Amino acid sequence: MDVKELLNRYAAGERNFQGIILPKADLQGVNLGGVDFGRADLSGANLTKASMSGANLSQANLQGANLEQANLSEVILSGADLREATLSTANLNESDLSGAYLCDADLCNASLHMALLSTANLQRVNLCDAKMSGVRMWKADLREADLTGADLSEANLSDANLTGANLNATDMSEAFLTGTIMPDGTIHQ
């Protein structure tokens, strides 16, 4: 299947595209709300400004994909591979990224209000100025992450690993930090 066929079938009402293989596909600006891309291969795809609200991308391969300014609110990305993906200024509010692999991804200025990132691997991720109030990140791996200026107010970071993370100007007011390994290696009580 190519992009044209995908868009035609979507326009005709089809939503189930589980396991589709479209690496490096150009889907810039498309509306694919509610689409099911579970276990899809969209590695290196251009999804800039795409609207995929309510979509299922669980266990999808989005390694190196460009999702800048994409609307991914309420999207299921559990277990997805987002290594080195660009998600700057993306809307991920209330999305499920539990167990997702986000190493070296760029989420600068992304909105992750009330998102679920429990057990996610966020090593070396760029979360500068990200809006993450109420985010649930228990047991997340944030080693060497850059959280400069991020809003983590009311976030649940219990048992998360922040070793070597940059928390300069990060708002952690009312954050739940029990068992969290802080940047200096100490464990928050």
What are 29's two structure tokens?
């600006």
Cα distance between residue 51 and residue 93, in whole Å: 13
Average of pLDDT values for 55-84?
A: 98
Q: How far is CA 161 from CA 36, 122, 165, in A?
A: 32, 10, 9
Cα distance between residue 14 and residue 6, in whole Å: 9
Q: What are the beta bridge partners of residue 66?
A: 46, 86
What are 126's two structure tokens?
């760029």
CB 40 within 8 A of CB 21: yes
Q: Which amino acid is at 77?
A: L
Average of pLDDT values for 88-96?
A: 98
Cα distance between residue 180 and residue 58, in whole Å: 27
Average of pLDDT values for 114-138?
A: 98
Average of pLDDT values for 94-108?
A: 98
Q: Backbone dihedral region of 83: left (phi > 0), alpha (psi from -120 to 50 degrees) or beta?
A: beta
* pLDDT tens profile 155-175: 999 999 999 999 999 999 999
The DSSP H or E segment spanning 4 is helix 3-11
Task: Output the pLDDT for position 189.
Answer: 86
Average of pLDDT values for 37-61?
A: 98
Q: What is the DSSP letter of 146?
A: B
CB 63 within 8 A of CB 41: no
Average of pLDDT values for 37-43?
A: 98
Average of pLDDT values for 14-25?
A: 98
Average of pLDDT values for 92-106?
A: 98
